[in-house]
Amino acid sequence: MPVQRLKKFLDEEGVKYITISHSTAYTAQGVARQAHLSGSILAKTVMVKVDGKMGMAVLPAPYKVDVDHLQHVIRAKSVEIATEDEFKNIFPDCELGAMPPFGNLYGMAVYMDESLTKEEGIVFNAGSHRELIQLAYKDFKRLVKPKVINFSFVTL
């Protein structure tokens, strides 16, 4: 079960969290609908290549990554959205496209859109297309240490 690695990490760190099960959904907006959540609290993980290294861009479900702005803000030479083929082997314990935004567990940087910091909690895929985890934003920030910046735009 994909969520076990993440739950073990959270348990070891003494973090309180809630697991939310839902019907299978493959898009962030679909997950939000299935789980009856606001898209503003549901964080999706978009894999990016920053100067050739894999990283995670974490943003609200209805938003899109502004690649040019992200590149400018983090002062990278290049930023591009990674293809599934480029990252499918990095997350052997997760279903493709359902990786949690815990780059620290996979040795990569996490860039978090500033808009997600406005909520007390954060909800995200837990490694499968049927399960989410919700926890306090302060715990997420402490564990992941994301680079918080503004790099997305709403696509409603």
The tens digit of pLDDT for each residue in 74-102 reads 999 999 999 999 999 999 888 888 899 99
Rounded to whole angstroms, the Cα distance separating 81 from 16 reads 32
CA distances from residue 84 to 95, 116, 142, 150, 156 in whole angstroms, order as listed: 11, 24, 28, 24, 24
pLDDT digits (tens, 9 = 90+) for 25-69: 556 565 655 555 655 678 999 999 999 999 999 999 888 999 999
pLDDT band for position 2 (cuts 50, 70, 90): low
Residue 32: what pLDDT?
57
Q: Which CATH number fits the domain that encloses residue 82?
A: 3.90.960.10
Q: At residue 139, what is the residue type? A: D
Q: What is the pLDDT of residue 92?
A: 87
Burial class (CB in 10 A: 0-12, 13-18, 19+), 142: exposed
Phi/psi at 125 (5° precision): -60, 140
Task: Name the β-bridge partners of 155.
Answer: none
* Number of domains the chain contains: 1
Tell me: pLDDT of 22 over 80: no
| Predicted local confidence at residue 1, as pLDDT | 44
Query: What pTM does this model have?
Result: 0.88
Tell me the helix, strand and coil percentages in the chain, rounded to 5. 30, 30, 40
What span, in angstroms and rounded, lies between the C-alpha atoms of 77 and 35? 38
Write out the residue range of the structural domain in which residue 37 sits.
3-154
pLDDT at 39: 56
pLDDT tens, residue by residue, 105-153: 999 999 999 999 988 889 998 888 888 899 999 999 999 999 999 998 8
Q: How many residues does the chain have?
A: 156
